[in-house]
Amino acid sequence: MLIVTVAGVRSKSRSAAAPAAEESSAPLRPLEETETYDLPAFKTHRMDLDSLPTSTTASGAQLQEYFESMYRMRRMETKADELYMTGHVRGFCHLYNGQEAVAVGVEAAVTYEDYLITAYRNHCQQLARGDTVEGVLSELTGRVTGCSGGKGGSMHLYKPENRYFGGNGIVGAQGPLGTGLAFAAKYGGTRNIAITMFGDGAANQGQIFEALNMAQLWRLPIIFMCENNRYGMGTSTARAAASGDFYTRGDYAAGLYIDGMNVLSVREGIAYAAERCRTGEGPVYVEMDTYRYKGHSISDQGTGYRTTDEVQSMKASRDPIDQVKTMLIDGGWATLQSLKGVERSLRKQVDAAVEFAKKAPEPPPEHLWKDVLSPSASGESVVRGTLVTTGGKVGTPL
Ligand SMILES: Cc1ncc(C[n+]2csc(CCOP(=O)(O)OP(=O)(O)O)c2C)c(N)n1
Ligand SMILES: [Mg+2]
């Protein structure tokens, strides 16, 4: 049982995985009405815990939006899995199932003026930053309608117009890159911030500490966000990390622990950390306590290094989508039946996106060098002064 002060309306209790069963014919409550929710406890490092909120208000409309966004993500990832298994997606494919509240809660706290960068588990952030399911599945299946024209695939999703910088296959690389984005925000005299998301495995890397040192020294507006999903590939944090309290690992930098399975907690924690960054106090090292339901990538069943019981109990007690469903039903904005209708319609939309991606054209041969190498003045692709097409030097006809 989950005490709903962790996830829902105050002083009621209900299993997060079992929304109210009773259906009533009473009219649903207007979505603009709000409810107050207790938040799961934050933990802080070099930051005043008492200045963090202990409760928050959400409207039915907000909760409905969070529910739909997370359900759409879950469904898209499930379909990506199927597309991989049937040979439509090749290469790598890392799924986000279980971690959706992080992507959705972050976007509820910042705007597209703020920079976002992450690792290879990046499909859902792309959606949250304004791409469509059609767009994401197109890139995964190598279609010209994807954001990288079908030449990048699963690990190369970007939306620069909404300040989303992907999509980075090298573990930890987004630490220094995100710090550069924060530097740009500060250098440009804006109040914008950068969020760099990385895993618990990446948190042990030297480049994260090097970038954090610079960010603290220069008081850069950046959230170093460690998504602690308990595993780096098949290695548990207990076996890989000398300290599992990731929020304290910034040492001299402020740290914040957030329940990453609770979308309201993510929203409020990130809103707080972001405001701190905007006022020039320097970086915040956030630990998102979350969990990945699937294996590391599609080639990993995710069963060899953890028990089925562990996964099932996480789903039963902390699932982010079920938590919001419970809030919607308990708050009187929805019934189990009305939410089933919403789920049905979202599944249809995702199915249509799958068909769209399967039918979309692959990139034509003339796109082979496009966007890969810098063009010469005459528009031809060049590597170190050599024309790719002819092997000749720029300006020297063969
Ligand atoms: C520099 C580097 N080393 C190793 C790898 C191989 N690798 C890919 S993902 C991964 C584990 C990372 O785990 P974590 O940071 O916890 O992220 P998660 O996959 O859990 O999201 C490793 C070792 C890599 N891509 N880059
Ligand atoms: Mg991990």
How far is the first Cα of the chain from the last one, in angstroms, to the nearest whole number?
75
Compute the distance between CA of residue 123 and CA of residue 103 in angstroms, rounded to an integer.
10
Tens-digit pLDDT profile for residues 163-172: 999 999 999 9
Whole-number pLDDT of residue 91: 94
Q: Are 138 and 150 in contact (CB under 8 A)?
A: yes
Q: Is 21 exposed, middle or buried (0-12, 13-18, 19+ CB in 10 A)?
A: exposed
Name the β-bridge partners of 228: 289
Whole-number pLDDT of residue 3: 33
The domain segmentation of the chain, as residue ranges, is: 36-366, 368-398
For ligand 1, say whether the CB of 199 is within 6 Å of any of its atoms.
yes
Whole-number pLDDT of residue 384: 74
Tokens 């999903």 correspond to: 229
For ligand 1, say whether the CB of 233 is within 6 Å of any of its atoms.
yes
Residue with the nearest Cα to atom 17 of ligand 1? Answer: 199
Residue 40 DSSP one-character state: P
What is the rounded average pLDDT of the residues 189-205?
98
- Return the sign of the alpha-carbon dihedral for residues 37, 43, 45, 48: positive
- Name the residue of 93, 102, 171 to mutate for ligand 1: max ligand atoms within 8 A of Cβ: 171
Q: Are 157 and 103 in contact (CB under 8 A)?
A: no
Residue with the nearest Cα to atom 18 of ligand 1? Answer: 199
Tens-digit pLDDT profile for residues 114-134: 999 999 999 999 999 999 999
Tens-digit pLDDT profile for residues 352-362: 999 999 999 99
227 alpha carbon – ligand 2 mean position (Å): 7
Tens-digit pLDDT profile for residues 328-386: 999 999 999 999 999 999 999 999 999 999 999 999 998 887 777 666 666 777 777 77
pLDDT at 16 over 60: no
pLDDT class for 396, splitting at 50, 70, 90? low
Counted residue by residue, the chain has a size of 398
Query: Which ligand has its closest atom nearest to the C-alpha of 119?
Result: 1
For ligand 1, say whether the CB of 322 is within 6 Å of any of its atoms.
no
156 alpha carbon – ligand 1 mean position (Å): 15
pLDDT class for 11, splitting at 50, 70, 90? very low
DSSP percent split of the chain into helix, strand, coil, nearest 5: 40, 15, 45
Domain 36-366 CATH class label: alpha beta
